[in-house]
Structure 1
């Protein structure tokens, strides 16, 4: 059993590493050289918004289906259609607001790709439910193949439609979903669009609200830096945080595997052991901080040479915040399973209000460095709130 868990962790990390590496180390660096810093700042902003939307819609529905017993015969189809439509509308509106220098064609194509991303993320629960994580690897490899073909197409045509890169990736991913006989993709054959599962919808609303706040705060830089400090500052902050955020993104597949295993009804863990896990993780992250700093400086000079001089001073500050965020995300996996979902809202709202307040005040007074400091304070506060719930609140029976 332990060998299979380790294997699944490894497969899921590799699966997401391939996807993240292509986007963060190839596609976005290439785009940063092909467009102005202003346009690049807007692209990374709406890309961040896309991640927020697909996480709080598609990934939330994924997790709800994962922890819901099939014996209850739940109906997810109608809700999945609603989330896909909502994903398209939300990213379209945000792109029109924040992407003033982007063409309407790019915005529409990117909105379609976000809708497909949302559906792909939700549909991937089929592999998680069966603990067949190799399916996730093949799915992501298909998406990566589509990205590379899209990148080649855009470079050959030289028409400036960068959004085709993301659309081609999602089309390739969906081809795999159909070819792999992913049953979720075929539910439309027997689904009743008029039927709405109220119990599932209620669960989704509770968790999606918490995830929405969490992801808005996770990508608060995209929402606040652009209107307060401008698109160029957004480009600088993104370059400075790009490498350390890759590490943070790799934690998501790890927590997904973890949740898949602890989703069993009889899973329990004592408070003392959970606190010990937190302490060990914190100790392990101390040397990791110096490693991430070194790697970040090295790679930023290579990937974003035109932004390196302004980005490098921010790296030591941002890395602290991102590692605290990673630690919090791991601990939150246990909170999600063992404690009432109500506490998710308490955590996100509490630290979120302080985060926004500090981000506005410090950004206006100290610029991009001030925002970076606000980010660190917010991530530390979130972890303290999570630990306080473990210490002072009882687990659900």
Structure 2
């Protein structure tokens, strides 16, 4: 149910809303894609980090009965997310614009939502996740109508996340927790900081393609690259919630479940192989229908970008085991190494081979991340989680 719930807004946004938006603002579509990458980068970094730390530490706080800490961290995270997004929006838009304010508001709302939905994960309440994502999907469609009338594309995302956040606030109580500090605040803040840095390094590479291609090659190349990676990104976004589901169940384990890990890895590998083949079969006809203005050029890169996306899916599936059973500092080490290799591989191949070299560099970097993640699980020392 969780995968289905997550698939719904992604499919509505990527297969219905965005192609229609692109048909109206083709010349500005590359900038739109870049700004969406900006707010997704920072809201995912801050919101998802607090979400995961809260999930991992929930039982400890519950046993002690000393709630607090997370409210203050969440508020600061929302403010930081907005500040970073507004700063980069000003850079890409060459100064102040109405987009600056709207992107700041949007990033604050999305970061808050990303944290608060941990309440559903704690309770394994997948029905509520489905309802929330159905509301998010409806909000996207409402925003599409508002965009069609006004020409302001940010309304697509604002409408979706405002309606979603209203439902989250009405159906959870996390936002009512006191703004106070416990004796474990420093420990919790350190965990959030480690995971935020790790998530930023990892997510920066996920979205760096669009953030770097825009100043290097311009908006049109961003549009081509976005279309080439569409199916792969959708697969990655749909499977990402599996990370949360696995982590939710692993929260109950006190020792590494090696047999379960091997089964998860094998199943994930089969899913990725099947998904890659299915994507290759349907890419041209579907992309030709959704983005006829970009499909011919985009198809040259689809084989490489889709492979990258499915390797990322495999990393997403196995990473919760490292997140749960190993020190949080490992997340930062893996992501730091990942970033260093990314810079060398992508720019080293970009200059002789152009956009194709950039795509191959991303693929090689993701293969290294998968190898390192597997090495850590099988060779590194675990946490004491008893």
Task: Provide the TM-score with structure 2 as the length reference.
Answer: 0.93
Give the CA deviation at 1:265: 4.6
How many residue pairs end up in the alignment? 379
Residue aligning to 2:296: 309
The answer on whether the counterparts of 2:67 and 2:182 sit within 8 Å (CA) in structure 1 is no
Equivalent positions of 1:1-397 (< 5 A) are: 11-37=1-27, 39-68=28-57, 69=59, 70-72=62-64, 73-75=66-68, 76-100=70-94, 104-155=97-148, 157=149, 159-180=150-171, 182-187=172-177, 190-192=178-180, 197-270=185-258, 274-275=261-262, 277-397=264-384
Q: Does the C-alpha gap of structure 1 residues 292 and 106 become closer, same or farther in structure 2, counting only changes over 3 Å?
A: same
Distance (Å, rounded) in 2 between the aligned partners of 1:134 and 1:14: 11
Distance (Å, rounded) in 2 between the aligned partners of 1:198 and 1:49: 29
Q: What secondary structure does 1:143 align onto?
A: helix
Distance (Å, rounded) in 1 between the aligned partners of 2:284 and 2:373: 31
Q: What secondary structure does 2:229 align onto?
A: helix
Give the CA deviation at 1:103: 7.8
Give the CA deviation at 1:145: 1.6
Deviations 1:150-170, CA, capped at 9 Å, x for gaps: 211221x2x321111211112
Q: Does the C-alpha gap of structure 1 residues 153 and 374 become closer, same or farther in structure 2, counting only changes over 3 Å?
A: same
Give the CA deviation at 1:288: 2.7
Task: Provide the TM-score with structure 1 as the length reference.
Answer: 0.90
The answer on whether the counterparts of 1:79 and 1:201 sit within 8 Å (CA) in structure 2 is yes
Residue aligning to 1:6: none
The answer on whether the counterparts of 2:55 and 2:121 sit within 8 Å (CA) in structure 1 is yes
Q: Does the C-alpha gap of structure 1 residues 85 and 13 become closer, same or farther in structure 2, counting only changes over 3 Å?
A: same
Deviations 1:109-141, CA, capped at 9 Å, x for gaps: 132112101101100011111111211111111
The answer on whether the counterparts of 2:268 and 2:317 sit within 8 Å (CA) in structure 1 is no
The answer on whether the counterparts of 2:139 and 2:159 sit within 8 Å (CA) in structure 1 is yes
Distance (Å, rounded) in 2 between the aligned partners of 1:146 and 1:289: 31
Q: Does the C-alpha gap of structure 1 residues 192 and 347 become closer, same or farther in structure 2, counting only changes over 3 Å?
A: closer
Distance (Å, rounded) in 2 between the aligned partners of 1:237 and 1:353: 22
Give the CA deviation at 1:297: 2.0
Q: What secondary structure does 1:161 align onto?
A: coil
Give the CA deviation at 1:314: 0.6
Q: Does the C-alpha gap of structure 1 residues 307 and 361 become closer, same or farther in structure 2, counting only changes over 3 Å?
A: same
Distance (Å, rounded) in 2 between the aligned partners of 1:215 and 1:291: 26
Give the CA deviation at 1:281: 3.1
Quote the RMSD (CA, aligned, Å). Answer: 2.0
Give the CA deviation at 1:368: 1.1
Q: Does the C-alpha gap of structure 1 residues 286 and 143 become closer, same or farther in structure 2, counting only changes over 3 Å?
A: closer
Residue aligning to 1:5: none
Gaps of 5+ in 1: 1-10
The answer on whether the counterparts of 2:191 and 2:328 sit within 8 Å (CA) in structure 1 is no
The answer on whether the counterparts of 2:22 and 2:29 sit within 8 Å (CA) in structure 1 is yes
Q: Does the C-alpha gap of structure 1 residues 286 and 166 become closer, same or farther in structure 2, counting only changes over 3 Å?
A: closer
Gaps of 5+ in 2: none
